[in-house]
Structure 1
Amino acid sequence: MGVGGNFWELLKPYSRNEGFDFLRNKRVAIDLSFWIVQHNNAIKTHVKKPHLRLTFFRTINLFSKFGAFPVFVVDGTPSPLKSQARIARFFRSSGIESTSLPVAEEGVSAGRNSTFSRCVQECVELAKLLGIPVLKAKGEAEALCAQLNSEGHVDACITPDSDAFLFGAKCIIKSFSPNSKEPFECYNMSDIEAGLGLKRKHLIAISLLVGNDHDLSGVQGIGIDSALRFVQAFGEDDILNRLHEIGKGNAFQVPIDIKAEENMDIDGNSPNTKQTHCSFCGHPGNKRDHMKFSCEFCVADDNEGCLKKPEGFKCDCNSCCMNRKHKEQKKMENWHTKICDKIAKEPNFPKDEIIDMYLCNDNGYFSANDGPQISWERPNMDLLVDFLNFHQNWDPSYIRRIMFPMMSTIFLREMATTPTDSLLFGQFEFASLKRVKTRYGYQFYVVKWKRAMGNIASKTPANKSGMQEDVIELDVDETVDLLDDCDFPQICEEDGCSFLLTDENMDLVGAAYPEEVKRFRQEQELKDVKRKKNPTSISQENEKSSTSPNSKGVQLNITEFFPTTKSKHNPKHGEESSSNKNDNQDSGGSKPKRKSSSPNIPKSVRRRLLFD
């Protein structure tokens, strides 16, 4: 999608692989249609409504894990040219040859069927329940994303459509690398200008020559390399006017020009009249004279003659340099003439409606003075639970568990700006910092949250393996997409109290709870000092605590957070197996869980004890 002719391969050398915190506190516009198409293509197994499932996971991860402020943009009514191009692409992919394709009427979308439109509408409803702003474009979504980026409303765009640069985008995130310390493949317009010397109108000219989403064919016989070489010969303000002149068949002059005085050598000879050169040494002069005495260009010890020229020798005299320059100019003129002939043969080239569409800066339903209304709100948890329960058949406790990292991020941001005594989820309060975790090369604070209503001691036995999972640093190598892998809050029991554990940005926690961070660092410094003074005793103490059957730092799974009893709402045996099957399917991106210590109690009931 976007500019044809492997346009992304042309820009690939100027891409950047940005780090894990690249989007921290940045606003990013997302082409929602691209996500929906990508989700449906990526999931091979049967998943109920994959567009909702992965939009939900990705939005939470962008917001909590990467610290971004996403803005969704949806397509509006496509232009007649875009609809015509979709019809042509359909005929081409189907192998149907047709000399007369049907012409799409204005305002009629040729590629947006009712099923896809319904998927978009469901994702829009989900985004609004999550508190994420959604904007509708007048035409293409990438056009509005680019306008928001160029006007400074957002800091980057997430889209694979390369024509976003033609609409004016400054920074595009094309793809994500799973489990990488530099997950974002990012393209900046400033890097493209510095590397290729191309600006926005240059890129528009290239798209007109090689084809784009609105004109698939472009100019016959011109590829991406020829188009690049051609447009680089002109300035940004001149390139589109030149294309209009060539398209009309007007006379064309090659921009590469050599001044008349530079075409003459020292003796006043034309570059077409080359000086006589010695066939033995290759320098100017007569061979007979060079056999007796060496010329001024050759240095021979015996002074008996010139040196034989090596293989591939090229003379550097003024006459030879001017002759070579003249040949290169002639070759360039012939090449440009061929390109211009191909352009002149193309009917109705260039299309002004395509140029005007790319240069248009009115792609959204808002005025230039007021700007778009972009604001992020708190998720509507009650309606969100009902929505996902209806469309995904997820248990309410499972939904609240997935939402916990996003809600904790919102809570910490609010505490950093306007400290209040409110509770997370209305039930949990900040307890303390447990440790520092390293993940994908970046550090996070592991925050402990406890229920404000009081904690209930768990009677679950300690981990029999003797390993304390709360001190393991994660730097996983599993092949899971960072956006699609959901981070579930872990559960830990210490001193008879149960806590939820989340990974939080260190700067965000420091802004929300500076005193807690200061106290945590002081404790860590004291531990480091003691470790340096008595390394032997501390290692022995760690061995005892790890082998103790009643270790207090054991990390428990979600089903062991509270002691549970048989609920009167227990489902029947058949319903229980079905519920377990759905839960396993929905949490496919999470890590395998241990078996519950109470196998007779359904998993859905145990979750409700914590999150209902």
Structure 2
Amino acid sequence: MGVGGNFWDLLKPYARAEGFDFLRNKRVAVDLSFWIVQHENAIKAHALKPHLRLTFFRTINLFSKFGAFPVFVVDGTPSLLKSQARITRFYRSSGIELSSLPVADGVPVERNPVFSRYVQECVELLELLGIPVLNAKGEAEALCSQLNSEGHVDACITADSDAFLFGAKCIIKSFCPNSKEPFECYNMSDIEAGLGLKRKHFIAISLLIGNDHDLKGVQGIGLDTALRFVKSFSEEDVLNRLHEIGNGKFSPFPTSIKSADNCADMDGNSSSRKQLHCSFCGHPGSKRDHMKFSCGYCITDDDEGCIRKPEGFTCACLSCDMVRKQKGQKRLEDWYTKICHKIAEEPKFPRDEIIEMYLCNDNGCFPASDGPCISWGRPKIEFLIDFLNFHLRWGPFYTRRQIFPMMSTIFLRDVANNPVENLLLEKYEFDSIKRVKVRYGYQFYVINWKCVVGNVICTIPPHESGMQQEDEVELDEFVDLLDDSDIPEVNAGDGCSFLLTDENMELVKAAFPAEVERFLQEQEMKELKKRKNSTPRSQVIEHSSSSSSRNIQLNITEFFRSTKMQNRSKQEEQSKNSDILDGGTTKGKREASSPNLSKSVRRRLLFN
């Protein structure tokens, strides 16, 4: 979807792999239709209403796990051009002749009613979660791009490549599951630096190769040709040049187009005549002049004449180089003229309504002067429980357990901004930091939330837990980081009940700095104790040998090691005593029994 001709492959080298904290405290616009379409077919047979389930888990994880502030955008009424393109795409996929293609005469084709119902249900869910939802006049990616270009959001989540044509600055195309860098991010600044193309260049490319509003583009022009063609014009001039060429007014050949053979002589003093060359060596001059003496290009020691030119020889003299440049320039001019003729043959090219749509900055259903009203509220838990019970058959305890990570994130943010005594969900208080957890290379604090009122919400009755168990098992292989839910663990001790959640370390430090300082001091004390208690290996061996003298039972490793050392010491003492008594005879025999001597010699030395 978006620009045709594998446009994403052109931008792939300039993608960045961003980590967990990339969206922390950032506002991000999400194309809701992209999420629904992306996974509707993937898990359709494995879950009840997957569009609601995925929207629920993805929103919570985007908000709590990655720390983002999502803003969802919903498609509006499609334009007439988009409606006609949809009909064309449907006929092509169905194998129906395009000659029988109906024409949308001033009436846009409405969206699929089933899909529209899915979108509306997701909107109701998001509003209950307290997430802002904006309605676009036309395409959702157009409003996402406008919000990004005007600074209302920091990034867009969409797979439509024409978001760059609408003015987006930062696009997150996909998520990489189970990765240290889960976000595949495209920045317009990186693309401009790498390709040398800007927004209007991309619009010109989409007009040439096709887009969601004009599928065919210009016949005979692909992505590589369009890229090379638009690079010859500046951003301010490229669309005007396309209008002139489309009207049959061919502009002069742009000198900015370069070939592999370089451009023509910049001084304009090139000669169209090629200098006479020797047919034997291939260098300037006649063959008769090169018969007796070698030319300046063929220098030999014995001066026997020129050297025969090898196969595939190319002369590098100024005359030949100039001729090659002129031929390359002529090929470029012919190529440019050919492209201009193809563009001129296309009727109604370029279509002004497509250009105006891409350059429009009024894509939302709100006053352009006032701007969008974006605010995040608190989840309406009781209404949310009834909604999910009706659509997904989730019990109240299960819903409260799944919503808990989002509520804990909101609680920590509130405490960081306004440190007052309060309870999470009017039931839990911050107790302590249990440990540091490493997940995909990133560290989190595992927080103990102490239940001070009633029972833990995660105590799920059997009939409710069994309701979801089958879905969770089947869905494990389909979900990624955004779809996977972080269910709080339950812990009990000292007559109290606790819930354990993974929280961002910086957020916890901002909300409870004293608790973090206390935890770090405890960790330092534990490390010091470990260092004191740890002893070198040599000390362990000495301790084991001394313990045997005190009639302390040894393990099998220490026993054999100690007896081996004792036997070795006894042998050394006996050898010293024998050396003293024999006056060095034993030492001589030992030296005589060196393995460097033969066996017979060693036998004679031993018995003599």
| TM-score interval, smaller chain | 0.7 to 0.9
Structure-1 residue corresponding to 2:34: 34
- 2:73–2:134 contact (8 Å) kept in structure 1: yes
1:434 alignment partner AA: K
1:87-236 equivalence runs, <5 A: 87-106=87-106, 108-110=108-110, 112-236=111-235
**Per-residue Cα deviation, 1:191-228 (whole angstroms, up to 9, x for no partner):** 11111111111111111111111111111111111111
Structure-2 residue corresponding to 1:348: 348
Structure-1 residue corresponding to 2:9: 9
1:200 alignment partner AA: R
Give the 3-state SS of the residue equivalent to 1:348 in structure 2. Answer: coil
Cα deviation, residue 499, structure 1:
1.5
Q: Residues of 1 paired with 2:107 and 2:420: CA distance?
A: 50
Cα deviation, residue 137, structure 1:
0.6
Cα deviation, residue 281, structure 1:
4.0
- 1:388–1:394 contact (8 Å) kept in structure 2: yes
Give the 3-state SS of the residue equivalent to 2:20 in structure 1. Answer: coil
Cα deviation, residue 297, structure 1:
3.7
- 1:179–1:479 contact (8 Å) kept in structure 2: no
1:357 alignment partner AA: M
Alpha-carbon spacing, 1:491–1:325, altered in 2? closer, same or farther (3 Å) = same
Q: Residues of 2 paired with 1:131 and 1:316: CA distance?
A: 73
Structure-2 residue corresponding to 1:360: 360
Give the 3-state SS of the residue equivalent to 2:330 in structure 1. Answer: helix
Give the 3-state SS of the residue equivalent to 1:125 in structure 2. Answer: helix
Structure-2 residue corresponding to 1:522: 521
Alpha-carbon spacing, 1:339–1:497, altered in 2? closer, same or farther (3 Å) = same
Number of aligned residues: 513
Q: For structure 2, list consecutive stretches of 5 or more residues without a partner in the other structure.
A: 257-262, 457-475, 541-608
Q: Residues of 1 paired with 2:428 and 2:452: CA distance?
A: 5
Cα deviation, residue 321, structure 1:
2.0
1:430 alignment partner AA: F
- Does residue 273 of structure 1 match 2:273? yes
1:18 alignment partner AA: E
1:546-585 equivalence runs, <5 A: none
Q: Residues of 2 paired with 1:497 and 1:291: CA distance?
A: 108
Give the 3-state SS of the residue equivalent to 2:242 in structure 1. Answer: helix
Of 257, 264, 267 in structure 2, the residue corresponding to residue 262 of structure 1 is 267
**Per-residue Cα deviation, 1:481-504 (whole angstroms, up to 9, x for no partner):** 001110100122344533211111
Cα deviation, residue 287, structure 1:
3.6
Cα deviation, residue 106, structure 1:
3.9
Alpha-carbon spacing, 1:261–1:332, altered in 2? closer, same or farther (3 Å) = closer
Give the 3-state SS of the residue equivalent to 2:394 in structure 1. Answer: coil
Cα deviation, residue 25, structure 1:
1.1
Give the share of equivalent positions with the same residue, in percent.
73
Q: Residues of 2 paired with 1:527 and 1:291: CA distance?
A: 93
- 2:30–2:72 contact (8 Å) kept in structure 1: yes
Structure-2 residue corresponding to 1:534: 533
Scaled by the length of structure 2, the TM-score of the pair is 0.80
Q: Residues of 1 paired with 2:107 and 2:137: CA distance?
A: 11
Structure-2 residue corresponding to 1:402: 402
Give the 3-state SS of the residue equivalent to 1:379 in structure 2. Answer: coil
Alpha-carbon spacing, 1:301–1:78, altered in 2? closer, same or farther (3 Å) = same
Structure-2 residue corresponding to 1:564: none
Cα deviation, residue 179, structure 1:
0.3
Q: Residues of 2 paired with 1:260 and 1:528: CA distance?
A: 74
Q: For structure 1, list consecutive stretches of 5 or more residues without a partner in the other structure.
A: 457-476, 541-612
Q: Residues of 2 paired with 1:348 and 1:154: CA distance?
A: 36
Structure-2 residue corresponding to 1:24: 24
Q: Which moved more, 1:254-263 or 1:209-218?
A: 254-263
Give the 3-state SS of the residue equivalent to 2:445 in structure 1. Answer: strand
Cα deviation, residue 278, structure 1:
3.3
Structure-1 residue corresponding to 2:446: 446
Give the 3-state SS of the residue equivalent to 1:429 in structure 2. Answer: strand
- 1:77–1:107 contact (8 Å) kept in structure 2: no
Q: Residues of 2 paired with 1:81 and 1:323: CA distance?
A: 49
Cα deviation, residue 129, structure 1:
0.7
Cα deviation, residue 303, structure 1:
4.2
Alpha-carbon spacing, 1:519–1:298, altered in 2? closer, same or farther (3 Å) = farther
- 1:75–1:138 contact (8 Å) kept in structure 2: yes
Q: Residues of 2 paired with 1:430 and 1:312: CA distance?
A: 81
Q: Which moved more, 1:75-84 or 1:307-316?
A: 307-316
1:477-488 equivalence runs, <5 A: 480-488=479-487
2:483 alignment partner AA: D
1:522 alignment partner AA: Q
Structure-1 residue corresponding to 2:554: none
Q: Residues of 2 paired with 1:261 and 1:521: CA distance?
A: 70
Q: Residues of 2 paired with 1:261 and 1:201: CA distance?
A: 30
Q: Residues of 2 paired with 1:134 and 1:368: CA distance?
A: 17
Cα deviation, residue 47, structure 1:
1.8
**Per-residue Cα deviation, 1:278-310 (whole angstroms, up to 9, x for no partner):** 344443233443454443344434444445545
Q: Residues of 1 paired with 2:266 and 2:409: CA distance?
A: 70
Structure-1 residue corresponding to 2:86: 86
Alpha-carbon spacing, 1:513–1:107, altered in 2? closer, same or farther (3 Å) = farther
**Per-residue Cα deviation, 1:85-135 (whole angstroms, up to 9, x for no partner):** 11111111111114242222445334x122111111111111111111000
Q: Residues of 1 paired with 2:155 and 2:116: CA distance?
A: 26
Structure-1 residue corresponding to 2:246: 247
Structure-1 residue corresponding to 2:59: 59
Alpha-carbon spacing, 1:126–1:305, altered in 2? closer, same or farther (3 Å) = same
Q: Residues of 2 paired with 1:531 and 1:261: CA distance?
A: 76
| Greater fraction of residues in helix | 2
**Per-residue Cα deviation, 1:304-357 (whole angstroms, up to 9, x for no partner):** 444554554433332222211111111111111111111111111110000000
Q: Residues of 2 paired with 1:277 and 1:534: CA distance?
A: 90
Structure-1 residue corresponding to 2:585: none
Alpha-carbon spacing, 1:423–1:4, altered in 2? closer, same or farther (3 Å) = same
Q: Residues of 2 paired with 1:354 and 1:377: CA distance?
A: 37
**Per-residue Cα deviation, 1:389-444 (whole angstroms, up to 9, x for no partner):** 11111000000100111111111111111112121111011011011111011111
Structure-1 residue corresponding to 2:568: none
1:16 alignment partner AA: R
Alpha-carbon spacing, 1:385–1:214, altered in 2? closer, same or farther (3 Å) = same
Cα RMSD between the aligned structures?
2.3
2:269 alignment partner AA: M
Give the 3-state SS of the residue equivalent to 1:230 in structure 2. Answer: helix
Give the 3-state SS of the residue equivalent to 2:22 in structure 1. Answer: coil
Structure-2 residue corresponding to 1:238: 237
- 1:18–1:184 contact (8 Å) kept in structure 2: yes
- 1:448–1:499 contact (8 Å) kept in structure 2: yes
- Does residue 326 of structure 1 match 2:331? no
Q: Residues of 2 paired with 1:9 and 1:353: CA distance?
A: 27
Q: Residues of 2 paired with 1:299 and 1:19: CA distance?
A: 63
Q: Residues of 2 paired with 1:115 and 1:479: CA distance?
A: 23
Cα deviation, residue 18, structure 1:
1.2
2:5 alignment partner AA: G
Structure-1 residue corresponding to 2:393: 393
Q: Which moved more, 1:42-51 or 1:443-452?
A: 42-51
- 1:263–1:322 contact (8 Å) kept in structure 2: no
Q: Which moved more, 1:20-29 or 1:138-147?
A: 20-29
Q: Residues of 1 paired with 2:304 and 2:149: CA distance?
A: 71
Alpha-carbon spacing, 1:429–1:290, altered in 2? closer, same or farther (3 Å) = farther
Q: Residues of 2 paired with 1:51 and 1:480: CA distance?
A: 13
